[in-house]
Amino acid sequence: MTTPRKRFRVLLVCTGNTCRSPLAEAALRDALGADRGRVEVRSAGTSAMEGEAASEGSQRVAEADGFDLSSHRSHRLTREDVRDVDLVLVMERHHRAAVEALGVDRGRVKVIDEWPAPGDPGSPVSDPFGGSPEAYEECWRRIRKHVERIVPHVRESLRAGSS
The pLDDT tens digits of the residues spanning 20-43 come to 999 999 999 999 999 999 999 999
**What pLDDT, on the 0 to 100 scale, is given for residue 3?**
46
**What pLDDT, on the 0 to 100 scale, is given for residue 62?**
98
Per DSSP, the three-state class of 59 is helix
Catalytic one of 20, 96, 142, 144 = 20
Mean pLDDT throughout 44-51? 98
The pLDDT tens digits of the residues spanning 99-132 come to 999 999 999 999 999 999 999 989 999 999 999 9
Is beta strand 8-14 parallel, antiparallel or unpaired with respect to 109-111?
A: unpaired
The verdict on domain 8-158 having CATH code 3.40.190.10 is no
Per DSSP, the three-state class of 146 is helix
Q: Is 14 a catalytic residue?
A: yes
Catalytic one of 42, 86, 127, 149 = 127
User: In the chain, where are the structural domains located?
Assistant: 8-158
Q: Which of 123, 121, 115 is nearest to 150 (CA)?
A: 115
Per DSSP, the three-state class of 12 is strand
Q: pLDDT-derived band of residue 6, with 50, 70 and 90 as boundaries?
A: confident
Largest CA distance in the chain: 56
Q: Is 19 a catalytic residue?
A: no
Summary mean pLDDT of the chain? 94
Distance CA 53, CA 55 (A): 6
Q: pLDDT-derived band of residue 162, with 50, 70 and 90 as boundaries?
A: low
Per DSSP, the three-state class of 72 is coil
Catalytic one of 14, 19, 96, 139 = 14
